Structure 1
Amino acid sequence: SHKHKKNGNPNETKNAPESEVEKEMRLERSSSVHSDMTKAEECINVTKEVESLQQNVKRKIQMLNEAISNLHSALEELDETQPSGFIYFFICIRISVRIKHTLYTYAYGPSEQLDEIKQEVDEAKKLVKEKDGMLAKLKRSADETMRTLEEKEKELEEREKGLNEEVDDITKQNKDLKDRRELLLRECDDVRKQKEHWQQLVEEQKQRFEIFRKQQEELDKRDQEVLGLHRSITEERLKLQEEKKRFLKERHKWEKEKNKQAKYDSGSIQDLAAQQKAMTKPVPSGKLRLKSNNSQPYENLYMMGASLKDARAMAANAVFTANSHDDNASEYAESEYADTIVSDAVTDLESLNSISDDDEEEEEDDKPDGSDHKNKLQRMQLPVNDYE
């Protein structure tokens, strides 16, 4: 039982998980110990009975020794009284028989119980032999159990060493797992922070995308508005081109009619002089723009094919000469209003000529090569006031 306790202590201290083999060994050990305990109890009971029988035999032996001592004392008395040999021998035999009888009667009771006592002694001897055999068997079984227990103890020690090594490995693995767990927790924190940062970036990108989408919608609206304006401008331009074509046709017809009338109606010299004087007179402020636009020298100069700079210089010189003939026109000569009027007229003329050039290029693409010369002549002879 003490060794069983020793063998059971490591499992209790280490709290290691028990396998099925260890459970079976424990059950076998408990059953063997129980059987050994029962056998030991039987042996103890037999030894107690043997000890009681030995005590009874010792008592009887003591009684026999007392009887023998009494016999020796009686023999000594006989030797002193009758020293003859035969009588002594006979007396000794008689005395020995009596002593035996007295001893048997004194020690074992009457002669009838002698056989029973012998039988009991024989049975006691048999029981002692059997008990000795049982004790020998018990010793052998105890030795065998001790050997098996020692072997099992060695196996348990080896298993204990293996379990200790496994426990050490498990502790190392636990430490490694704890370190890995800490690393994984740190990585999880880093990943969570990165995820939050990415979510912020995604939200910022969404906001930027919304702003960009709104801007794109505004740009699309503006593009639609610009396209609408462009369409309206193209429509207006087409309308103006059509009106210009119609005007050019009417102008061509009017020039033909004017040339026909000029052939038949030459006019008087006085009317021409009056027109010349009217052209040299100072112009009031309200009608200065119309007079400058209807001025005949500027018209004739442009119709003759001069450049715009020459036309502008001639117009300014004409205004200066007209103002120098009239004293009331000194204010107009000193002021810059006349130059502004001339510059406005020139810019209007340039813009109209640019429009006419574009339209005529389109017409030239449509018309054959024979009509280019006529169109150039019409463009050279067209005055400013006709455009207005």
Structure 2
Amino acid sequence: MPHPNDPKLRSFVPVDPASHFPIQNLPYGVFSARDGLAPRVGVAIGDHVLDLWELAQDCRFDLVEPAVFAASSLNPFMALGPQVWSKTRARISELLRADHPELRDNDDLRKRALVPMKDVKLHLPITVSGYTDFYASKEHATNVGVMFRGKDNALQPNWLHMPIGYNGRASTVVVSGTRVRRPRGQLKPPNVELPSFGPCKRLDFELEMGVVVGQPSKMGEMLTEQQAEAMIFGFVILNDWSARDIQQWEYVPLGPFQAKAFATSISPWVVTREALEPFRLNGPEQAPAPLPYLRQTKPNNYDIELEVDLRAGEMNEAKIICQTNFKYMYWSSVQQLVHHASSGCAMNVGDLLGSGTISGPEKHQRGSLLEISWNGTEPADLGGGVKRSFLEDGDSLQMSGWCQGDGYRVGFGAVEGTIAPAE
């Protein structure tokens, strides 16, 4: 049987070459349709969702019980482990192949199992057990350091020795399309003696990728590179919304708190690690060499093109404000997971790890408005006389990402959020 990543594979379901969801992708998500049934697990293929519960009910899977796909999150499926993930993806690929008649020629099952994307509602794909945000782009960390500490002290002494991160809030991870209310918090500009409480005035986005952990680790145990890789189920695009002025006042001495706790948006489709395999590459050279537990023996970065579009509330059209690539990340997702568990911290099915803001070496590759506007001193020009240093009420932001194959794309869809006024 052909491997699901074979670039020559074609599905009987029509797929545009520019689609993010060819047969080589097969990302998992949770959806509900107009049939009135509860949210359940599906796979994106072209402009359709393949209903895995319908297929399981029809005894098309040997390894997975129908109840797993009837769940309102991917957690029960992820808990079954990497071998089941891989065999299930191969079976789905087989069922969707243009040269395989099993689903293609079964009119009744095909009508029940293939739901037009326009007729579904997409839900948060996982039950988020815990959320951790990292700070793993050297370009981003350097830009921020130059702004606030000067060029000679841009990176903190520990940055080149370990992936820096903090524990965030799983309770406010939301799916794409969820409106984001402007947060309130304590504000203290440098020229004011005492803080006040009110709506954030410097609201920002952070372009990130999110790692979805699909297997647990035991408390007290470390992970090897190979173990950490096997625990990763897949990836989503992640927007870690940020209140820069709240953060500026609160982050010393313990780091971000309320400035990052109000909302984190993720894309509804989880692209599996296996689907990204053809796009692996080496990340930047790490100097000094990491300590032995963080050293890598193979490429753990991915060639994922990323784009951010901003539509100002008073405009009809969005403008691209960032184009960058996940390959620039200094610390890989595997290294982040290894380091997270290195103290003995237990990891759970459904843990979400944010990569940290993804910026590249060029100006157009900056992954936050803080960098794009250089802390408000160089506002982004959106055309028509509209400029932005930070996000205003009514603004809509959309992030998208894809890997470019030979005649096909393995993409993530998009993650979108619109800013609503503070209550």
Q: Bin the TM-score by the shorter chain.
A: under 0.3
Higher-helix-fraction structure: 1
Structure 1 or 2, whichever has the larger Rg, is: 1
Q: Which has the higher strand share?
A: 2
TM-score (norm 2): 0.16
> Which structure ranks higher in relative contact order (CA pairs < 8 Å, sequence separation ≥ 6)?
2
Using the size of structure 1 for normalisation, the TM-score is 0.17
